[in-house]
């Protein structure tokens, strides 16, 4: 139990709780203390020593992130000795860091570079480049992520994030002494290390040592090729977060500006991913109804999140029969772009570049899966994260904040509010319930199923549908997935439908979303603020049930026939299989 204590910081009196650290109290009161390795609730080791402060006039400095306040404590956060100590530590770190700031993915929000500027640290760049012509470890062979040890400062935040948020422990410290580097444990490549590509390590990294594989150049070439038509899809959660890259407060809807920016970049057509989110509900919902009418297999698992699918194939393949055969909305969109849409636009599919803007780095890996294409071409050719799109807009000097908002352009840009909420945890489940209940009851049913909303790691609800009690659950984040599946093996409860998302909070907190500095990460509820954008769009939408989307109805009438038809299965469904990682190979 914590008690109130009185202390002074830089000569001023403050009241704090006894279980708080000096760092926490200082930041709550607007007092700056430098920090780098500390990430609350994830990495609290205090090994960088940049947050050093003087306590009670003692000669030895204390780490503010690890020192709890006490009654009568006197704290100094900045004097000559502290400045020298922090500067010396920053200089040592800078000597092990390769500076390529103008090409770095973190050029605008590098926590390390910010501190170097604050403390006027000078660098001998010629020395840096000479020292790191050959990084201790560099890998981009996965085609999804890049690990570059020459930019790593060995803070350990990525290692802890992987363990704390996924429970997988893919990353670790390898080597010894000056040869220490962070990479996949046991010196393996990332692609066979059991990584699910959730991107939590990238978001935890304070530098550019971890990043997504940059695919902007591929788009640059496509936009300049007169033979190519670039057709773009944008995931719902991108519009809830990309504004942060241009100075908008977290939780700002910049949908109209986003579409205007895509137009300014030269994108030819948009088929919004929200449209195929609606389509997913018809396909997945019909699959669920068929299981209800034919006795299973239960529970049915959603298949929208590629990080979750990776997890299942790698760690719990015995449950693959429970997984919906539906492709994700991204891949459904890609399949339609190269077939239905190509025919309507009188285009050869081989001359279409299918571009996806996603909040997730696992989407890059999903698009590369061999089964996600046909006739010599892939459903999705290029996947850019929200961060990559923002960098491209900035590099092109497009004045994002001054653009005139516009609606999406393209024939299949119509979508419902249900498509939007796919980006938040529980959104897929709620959208499915809106449609499944109405189809089975054959009457109007509730629009909102708020029991499956919220940020609790595992949420459960029971609904009576046409006289049958249906048990549903919503699970998000690798660690919660692991817990739920372990409990499922011994549970006597019959679950019927379970939504899984690889990232906590769902896609709004995906590994490709804007990176939030550690100080802001701890002071704002990122997931709640971004999700509020999607629920606000849903609240004001004219249509809020996927099966009411007129473009979806027309698609079935003129092309697909009906949900789960032969053509639907050919284009919109897939299969999943057991995969091995080195951790499973004996």
The one catalytic residue among 111, 244, 245, 287: 287
**Is 371 known to be catalytic?**
yes
**Neighbouring-strand partners of residue 212:** 145
CB atoms within 10 A of CB 117: 10
**Is 304 known to be catalytic?**
yes
Which backbone phi and psi does 222 adopt, to 5 degrees?
Answer: -60, -40
Residue 226: CB partners within 8 Å, gap ≥ 6? none
The one catalytic residue among 142, 149, 305, 324: 324
The one catalytic residue among 110, 158, 195, 304: 304
Residues of the chain with pLDDT under 70: 123-134, 410-413, 582-586
The one catalytic residue among 363, 364, 459, 545: 363
**Is 287 known to be catalytic?**
yes
**Is 284 known to be catalytic?**
yes
Helix (H, G, I), strand (E, B) or coil at 492: coil
511, 383 Cβ separation under 8 angstroms: no
Instruction: For residue 569, count CB atoms less than 10 angstroms from its CB and return exposed for 0-12, middle for 13-18, buried for 19 or more.
Output: middle
* pLDDT given at position 178: 84
Which candidate, 201, 49, 43, 205, places its Cα nearest to that of 113? 205
172, 159 Cβ separation under 8 angstroms: yes
Residue 221: CB partners within 8 Å, gap ≥ 6? none
How many degrees, rounded to 5, is the angle at CA 216 between CA 211 and CA 222? 155
Locate tokens 């790691």: which residue?
A: 457
Report d(CA 569, CA 332) in Å as an integer: 11
Report d(CA 125, CA 95) in Å as an integer: 9
Q: Could you tell me the CA-to-CA distances from 526 to 42, 457, 504 in Å, in that order?
A: 16, 15, 11
* pLDDT given at position 586: 39
CATH classification of 214-586, choosing from 3.40.50.1780, 2.30.30.30, 3.40.50.880, 1.20.1250.20? 3.40.50.1780
- Which class is 105-212 in CATH? alpha beta
**Is 507 known to be catalytic?**
yes
Helix (H, G, I), strand (E, B) or coil at 73: strand
368, 219 Cβ separation under 8 angstroms: no
* pLDDT given at position 128: 45
Report d(CA 150, CA 392) in Å as an integer: 24
CB atoms within 10 A of CB 212: 23
Residue 425: CB partners within 8 Å, gap ≥ 6? 454, 455, 474, 476, 499, 501, 504, 505, 506, 527, 531
How many degrees, rounded to 5, is the angle at CA 416 between CA 246 and CA 440? 145
The one catalytic residue among 212, 313, 366, 430: 366
The one catalytic residue among 284, 388, 430, 438: 284
Q: Could you tell me the CA-to-CA distances from 31 to 25, 34, 120, 263, 448 in Å, in that order?
A: 8, 10, 20, 43, 43
* pLDDT given at position 130: 43
For the chain, give percent helix, strand, coil, nearest 5: 45, 15, 40
Which candidate, 475, 472, 467, places its Cα nearest to that of 434? 472
* pLDDT given at position 129: 46
* pLDDT given at position 353: 98
206, 110 Cβ separation under 8 angstroms: yes
Name the segment(s) of the chain with CATH classification 3.40.50.1780. 214-586
65, 47 Cβ separation under 8 angstroms: no
Tokens of 368: 């590369």
* pLDDT given at position 123: 61
Half-sphere exposure of 519 (CA within 13 A, CB side): 18
Name the segment(s) of the chain with CATH classification 3.10.20.740. 4-91
The one catalytic residue among 71, 318, 371, 469: 371
Look at the pTM and tell me if it is higher than 0.85: yes
Name the segment(s) of the chain with CATH classification 3.30.70.20. 105-212
Name the architecture of domain 4-91: Roll (3.10)
Half-sphere exposure of 159 (CA within 13 A, CB side): 18
């Amino acid at each position: 139990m914590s008690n109130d204590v009185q202390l002074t910081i830089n000569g001023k009196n403050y009241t704090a709780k006894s279980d708080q650290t000096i760092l926490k109290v200082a930041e709550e009161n607007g007092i700056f203390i430098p920090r780098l390795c500390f990430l609350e609730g994830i990495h609290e080791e205090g090994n960088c020593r940049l947050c050093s402060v003087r306590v009670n006039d003692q000669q030895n400095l204390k780490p503010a992130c690890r020192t709890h306040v006490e009654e009568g404590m006197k704290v100094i956060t900045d004097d000559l000795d502290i400045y020298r100590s922090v500067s010396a530590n920053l200089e040592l770190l800078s000597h092990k860091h390769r500076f390529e700031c103008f090409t770095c993915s973190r050029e605008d929000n590098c926590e390390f570079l910010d501190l170097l500027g604050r403390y006027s640290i000078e660098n001998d760049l010629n020395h840096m480049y000479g020292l790191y012509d050959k990084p201790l470890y560099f890998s981009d062979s996965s085609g999804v992520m890049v690990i570059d040890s020459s930019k790593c400062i060995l803070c350990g935040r990525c290692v802890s994030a992987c363990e704390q948020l996924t429970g997988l422990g893919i990353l670790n410290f390898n080597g010894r002494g000056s040869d220490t580097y962070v990479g996949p444990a046991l010196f393996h490549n990332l692609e066979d290390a059991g990584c699910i590509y959730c991107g939590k390590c990238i978001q935890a990294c304070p530098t550019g040592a971890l990043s997504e594989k940059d695919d902007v150049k591929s788009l640059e070439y496509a936009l300049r090729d007169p033979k190519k038509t670039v057709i773009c899809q944008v995931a719902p959660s991108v519009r809830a977060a990309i504004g942060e890259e241009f100075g908008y407060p977290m939780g700002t809807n910049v949908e109209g500006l986003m579409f205007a920016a895509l137009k300014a970049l030269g994108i030819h057509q948009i088929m919004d991913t929200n449209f195929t989110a609606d389509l997913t509900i018809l396909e997945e919902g019909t699959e669920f109804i068929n299981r209800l009418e034919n006795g299973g297999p239960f529970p049915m698992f959603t298949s929208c999140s590629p990080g979750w699918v990776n997890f299942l194939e790698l760690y719990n393949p015995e449950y693959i029969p429970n997984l919906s055969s539906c492709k994700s909305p991204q891949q459904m969109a890609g399949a339609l772009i190269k077939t239905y849409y190509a025919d309507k636009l009188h285009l050869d599919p081989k001359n279409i570049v299918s571009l996806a803007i996603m909040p997730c780095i696992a989407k890059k890996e999903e698009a590369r899966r061999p089964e996600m294409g046909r006739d010599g071409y892939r459903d999705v050719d290029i996947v850019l994260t929200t961060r990559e799109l923002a960098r491209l807009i900035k590099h092109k000097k497009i004045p994002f904040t001054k653009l005139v908002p516009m609606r999406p352009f393209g024939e299949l840009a119509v979508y419902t509010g249900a498509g939007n909420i796919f980006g938040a945890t529980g959104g897929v489940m709620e959208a499915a319930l809106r449609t499944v209940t109405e189809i089975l009851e054959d009457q109007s049913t509730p629009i909102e199923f708020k029991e499956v909303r919220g940020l609790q790691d595992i949420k459960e609800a029971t609904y009576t549908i046409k006289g049958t009690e249906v048990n549903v659950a919503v699970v998000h984040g690798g660690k919660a997935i692991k817990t739920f599946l372990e409990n499922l093996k011994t549970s006597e409860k019959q679950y019927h439908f379970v939504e899984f998302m690889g990232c906590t909070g769902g896609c709004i907190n995906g590994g490709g979303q804007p990176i939030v500095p550690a100080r802001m990460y701890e002071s704002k509820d990122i997931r709640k603020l971004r999700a509020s954008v999607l629920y606000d769009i849903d609240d004001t939408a004219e249509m809020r049930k996927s099966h009411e989307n007129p473009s979806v109805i027309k698609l079935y009438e003129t092309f697909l026939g009906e949900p789960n038809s032969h053509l639907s299965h050919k284009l919109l469904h897939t299969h999943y299989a057991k995969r091995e990682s080195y951790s499973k190979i004996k």
